Amino acid sequence: MKRTNTFEVVPQSEQDEELLRRLLDAAAALWNEITYKRREHYADPNGNVWEIGEYRGRYGGVLGASTVQQIERKNREAWRSFFALQQKGEANGKPGFWGNAEDGRELRTFIRNTSYSVKWGAYSRLEILVGNDLKDEYGLGHHERLRLEVRGKPNWDEYDKQGRLELYYDENAQTFRAFQPVTISTSRLASPLADETAALDIGANNLVACTTTTGTQLLYDGRNQFERFRETTREIARLQSLLDDGRYSSNRIRSLYRRRTRRRDHAQDALARDLIERLHGDGVSTVYVGALTDVLETHWSVKANAKTHNFWAFRAFVKRLACTAEEYGMVVEVRSEAWTSQECPQCGSTDRTTRHHDTLTCPCGFEGHADLTASETFLKRQTAVTRSMARPVRLKWDDHDWSESPRSCSNEERTNPQVASVGQ
């Protein structure tokens, strides 16, 4: 089972930082050169994007031959992914550059699994291979590696195998960060505490509404995150409108794109972890997630599409959720949830109900929280629900954690006597 450790990397001296920056800048220059060559071949009807020439002689002295190989391999993977998406009609652009020399390159590199080591403990450290030219220039021994301090607690400090390390400079946080893929033995995984079931309604304003067969209901509020996402998107558009003719991006624009993506991914990762840990404690072994295909076909709009695809990144979230659930021996399955957000739980009507913001109403007298009702209806389609629902728990994001909000789901409490009585 593959997982990833994320941690901060801190040079121990100004010289070490200078060396590291030169290493990452050379890696970016190599990436850009390979990308430029492949773009030229792609534009040539007779060109072959896989023929790029030899770069180890020019970059090996700085990066080391193994790192040159890894960057070439990573670039090849990016182009293969591009062609695969192109065949599906989903490609949205050729692999891009890591900045440029004039505006500043993105400081980033990939290091082979045998060319670095991480030691965890009271003084955690990362040691990485550098080329002989840099070793000579900065006074490193022939068999010596660049040693850097590591900060942060790893998710997995014991693993069977480490993968290719990604090391980059985070401009927003003004620090170096690393991603370390690792392979974990299944013997280290937890097991479900019981055989309960949960159903998730994935939304835009409320990111996740969850109902379980134990009677638990969870609501993850995403309005603030989406508004910040939209603000950043508007700022990107404004800056793009100011660019000179022939220019399509800038350092600032690329920085905003990265900040927008990382801020969203951080909230998603934390949501998946918080949700699965809560469900594991509730004895859940199977999690059903509603597919968005039917919903988008019925209720498509530009804003809804922006929320569910650009901001929410549904596929990426489900993958994160499944990976996290796997650590606890839980299974995630995607099922159709067509019409669950319109179905009245009292009379079963789908054409007479009305949704206004977070409220679902029906002429039969039902009124309740729309997303929580949809998750409960979705759950009933998968398994029999025999327990009454407890008071819903609303969670909000504070840029670090998902925490329970004192603000309640008022519609649900006001109209469902079972909910109101449980919390008293």
Backbone angles phi, psi at 329, to 5 degrees: 75, 20
Handedness of CA 204, 206, 207, 212 (dihedral sign): negative
Same domain (yes/no): 221, 81: no
Interhelix angle 65-88/14-43, nearest 10 degrees: 40
Same domain (yes/no): 220, 303: yes
Closest CA to 327 of 289, 395, 279: 279
Cβ–Cβ < 8 Å for 276, 324: yes
Tokens encoding 92: 């949205």
8 lies in some domain: yes
User: CB under 8 Å to 14, separation ≥6 — which residues?
Assistant: none
Count of positions (residues) in the chain: 424
Same domain (yes/no): 233, 161: no
Structural domains of the chain, count: 2
Domain-terminating residue out of 183, 216, 241: 183
287 lies in some domain: yes
Same domain (yes/no): 230, 87: no
Domain-terminating residue out of 183, 213, 248: 183
382 lies in some domain: yes
Q: What is the helix (H) or strand (E) element at residue 318, kind and residue range?
A: helix 314-327
A 10 A CB-CB count for 380 gives: 16
What pairs with residue 8 in β-bridges? 151, 177
Backbone angles phi, psi at 88, to 5 degrees: -85, -5
190 lies in some domain: no
Instruction: Locate the DSSP E strands across 25-164.
Output: 99-100, 104-105, 108-111, 116-119, 125-128, 146-151, 161-162
Q: Tell me the C-alpha distance between 299 and 270, whole Å.
A: 28
Q: Tell me the C-alpha distance between 330 and 284, whole Å.
A: 7
138 lies in some domain: yes
Same domain (yes/no): 174, 316: no
Same domain (yes/no): 65, 148: yes
DSSP 339-395: TTTT--TTT--SSS-EEETTEEE-TTS-EEEHHHHHHHHHHHHHS---SPP---EEE
Same domain (yes/no): 319, 364: yes
Decide: helix, strand or coil at residue 68.
helix
Tokens encoding 155: 């998710």
Q: Kindly report whether the global pTM for this prediction surpasses the value 0.75.
A: no
* H helical segments located in 44-151: 56-63, 65-88, 132-138
Same domain (yes/no): 80, 103: yes
Domain-terminating residue out of 183, 212, 245: 183
What pairs with residue 300 in β-bridges? none
58 lies in some domain: yes
Same domain (yes/no): 91, 65: yes
Q: Tell me the C-alpha distance between 274 and 20, whole Å.
A: 35
Q: Tell me the C-alpha distance between 67 and 130, whole Å.
A: 8
201 lies in some domain: yes
Same domain (yes/no): 203, 177: no
Same domain (yes/no): 157, 229: no
Same domain (yes/no): 172, 319: no
Find where tokens 């390390």 sit. Answer: 165
- pLDDT (tens digit, 0 to 9) for every residue of the chain, 424 residues total? 888 898 999 999 999 999 999 999 999 999 999 999 999 999 999 999 999 999 989 999 999 999 999 999 999 999 999 999 889 887 778 999 988 777 778 899 999 999 999 998 888 999 999 999 999 999 999 999 999 999 988 888 888 899 999 999 988 778 999 999 999 887 777 889 999 999 999 877 788 999 999 999 999 998 888 888 889 989 999 999 998 887 778 878 888 888 888 888 888 889 999 999 999 999 999 999 988 655 444 444 545 555 555 666 788 889 889 989 988 999 999 998 888 888 998 898 988 999 888 899 999 999 999 999 999 999 999 987 767 888 999 999 988 889 998 765 554 443 443 433 333 3
Q: Tell me the C-alpha distance between 69 and 145, whole Å.
A: 18
What pairs with residue 176 in β-bridges? 9, 169
Q: Tell me the C-alpha distance between 332 and 324, whole Å.
A: 10
Closest CA to 184 of 3, 62, 309: 3
Cβ–Cβ < 8 Å for 257, 236: yes
Q: Tell me the C-alpha distance between 392 and 219, whole Å.
A: 7
Closest CA to 134 of 125, 146, 126: 146
343 lies in some domain: yes
Tokens encoding 252: 């600032």
Single-letter amino acid, residue 87? Q
Single-letter amino acid, residue 27? A
Compute the radius of gyration of the chain from its Cα atoms: 25
Chain centroid to CA 250: 24
Domain containing residue 178? 2-183
